[in-house]
A and B are shown apart, each in its own frame.
Chain A
Amino acid sequence: MTTLRTGSAAGRTLTVLRKELLDMFRDRRTGMVTLLSAICAGPIFLLLIFNLIASQAERARDLKLPIVGAIYAPAVVAFLERQQVTVSDAPADYDAQIRRGDLDVVLIIDDQFAADVAQGKAGSVQLVFDRSRDRARASIEQTESLLRRYNRLWGEQRLMLRGVASTVANPLRIETSDLATPQQSGALVLFLVAYYGLFASVMGGMAVALDTTAGERERQSLEPLLMTPARPTEIVTGKWLAVSAFNALVVLLTLAGFYLTLKFAPLPPVGVPFLFGAREFGRFALVLVPMILMLPAILLYVGSRARAYKEAQANVSVLLFVVSLIPMIQLFMQRKEPGWLMFVPVSAQYSLLNTSLRGEAPALTQLALSWLAPATLIALALFAVARRLSRESILIGK
């Protein structure tokens, strides 16, 4: 009595996609956590970094320098004061205060300073600091460079008195020209923004991808689904498109968080006018497309290998570790990037994100190359999941 009904492959794929999207957005808890962390993380993050940079810049600008024995070398002290350094007498327990981080750096002038200079010997001064303290670094460097400048000035004056040109003592004249455009500075900020953008594309689809594979198996709704005329390839494609759509949403929200924060939030002025405008937003999104599509495919594969959600989570942490490590390695390598990097997923994207943040457009050939490996991996992962779904073993051990 029943006629044979066959929907089209595209129709069934679309049905799976629609159902998975509905299911995802009904999952309030996972959805809220994922979306909220995507929206909030960027702004909170930027605020912290900017405050850090601002406070460092502040310290360098108004350098406070406690001195022990200022009376032994009034000329040195006068020079420092001319350079806008706030000079004061050092407290007795200055070394304890440095250890605690209350003081950045203290200058000690030897009580034999004047006598040594009079005898033609070098007068000795001592700098006390704790270099392991990041916040103090700017003050330390500035004090060192001021003292070196004073040293050179003093020496040149002595030579001039003897009728010797200063070039005799300083045969090398060093001129620097920094080719960094304003937005090329602030490497830490660049790293973190690129890293976080990349991370969003990895994390965005995780919960939903595992829920739709390992979760579906755990809830025992997979077997009924496999008994419908929907082919495994159609089921997998539908699920992949749904997870990718969710992932894309998370990435866009994360980028929007960066964009809006930098545009409207009252961030302290740090002299790092690094750009994240509409143009960078677009370039980021473009560079991240392969990630947005690749990670869901890989996560679906990992999820399909597990019998339960918890098991899948444990497996996925290995994947996350590898993915989060790659940009770190690149940061610490600090070498010119080799050409083959564009074939390495994650690495290529990280490099292209950095290019975008430096205000340059990623080259089209590089963009195309960065697609090769992800496209291959997507095809392989989806094929593997479909194969798993058509195997009998998926039904056993539920």
Chain B
Amino acid sequence: MIDVDGLQKAFGKKREVEAVRGVTFAAPDGEITGLLGPNGAGKTTLLRMIATLVLPDAGHARVGGLDVVADRYAVRGRIGVLSDARGLYPRLTARENVRYFGRLYGLAGAALEARIDALFATLGMAPLADRRTAGFSQGERMKVAIARALVHDPDTILLDEPTNGLDIMSVRTLRDELRALRTQGKCLLFSSHVMQEVAALCDRIVVLARGRVVAAGTAAELVERAGTDGLEDAFVRLIGSDEGLAA
């Protein structure tokens, strides 16, 4: 469960770049919540604040009841993050990459190895597990990054533009994995500027533009509210322009 209440963040010497200006929403367990918005809407900053990496200027965010500022390390132990920084250690094998993070989360021994095996099996990565990641394709790297983000079995999962640069097969693997996690009762928050992506996967959509929530609800609710025929038109009308929008 993610609870965001009035989050604000500005950057720059004089705090002149207002990235997030008072965002409030909730993402319940057992659902995939989509954060939809054009480039520059503040999605990444918002996710980083929830992931405890960036301190909010004002407002609160709670993950599983824990405050992202006061209990930041406890929150880190409970969330899994797939950010757009998906760098791996090229000289380590896929397994060693994931093992490193597992150990940092306090896992060890046979339990950790079993967890890694299970993750790689689900992701279809078992044959590549003991190869160095230097020569991996984008899709293979993404799978290792997913395994790394999920190794400690977090109950809240944040994904920042997870389908960027992936081929269609990898996108499908990712979608299946996210649906499986939803079935397990996890809370998933998924950001994207690709409307179809969000529509195909998310139970609820939060539309973000210029640092503010402009609408929230299911796809059907958004279409109804905007009074348009399809989601694409609804989206354009809700954010007030088609700037920075990918079809």
Contacts and interface: CB of A to CB of B under 8 A. Distances in A.
Interface of A: 1-2, 4-7, 11-12, 15-16, 19, 22-23, 26-27, 216, 219-231, 392, 395-396, 398
Contact of A222 (B73, B85, B149, B152): B85
Chain A interface mostly helix, strand, loop or mixed? loop
Nearest to A230: B104
Interface residues of B, number: 40
Q: Which 3 A-B pairs have the closest CB atoms?
A: A220-B87, A7-B106, A221-B87
Contacts of B100: 15, 19
Interface in B86-132: 86-92, 96, 100-101, 103-107, 132
A228 B77 CA distance: 7
B53 A229 contact: no
Given A11-B106, A227-B81, A5 B91 contact: no
Interface string B41-79: 000000010011111000000000000000001101111
Given A23-B91, A26-B92, A392-B53, A6 B106 contact: yes
Contact of A226 (B53, B90, B149): B53
A392 B55 contact: yes
B140 interface: no
Nearest to B71: A4
22 contacts: A1-B185, A2-B78, A4-B74, A4-B77, A4-B78, A5-B106, A5-B107, A6-B73, A6-B74, A6-B77, A19-B100, A23-B91, A216-B87, A222-B85, A222-B87, A224-B85, A224-B145, A227-B76, A229-B77, A229-B104, A395-B54, A395-B85
B154 interface: yes
Given A12-B103, A23-B89, A219-B90, 20 more contacts: A2-B153, A2-B154, A4-B74, A4-B78, A6-B106, A7-B103, A19-B92, A19-B100, A221-B88, A223-B87, A224-B83, A224-B86, A224-B149, A227-B51, A227-B53, A227-B83, A229-B76, A229-B104, A229-B105, A396-B11
Interface of B: 11, 48, 51-55, 73-74, 76-79, 81, 83, 85-92, 96, 100-101, 103-107, 132, 145, 148-149, 152-155, 185
A221 B85 CA distance: 7
A12 B148 CA distance: 16
B21 to A, nearest CB: 17
A26 B91 CA distance: 6
A2 B155 contact: yes
A221 B74 CA distance: 21
Contacts of A227: 51-53, 76, 79, 81, 83
Contact of A224 (B52, B87, B152): B87
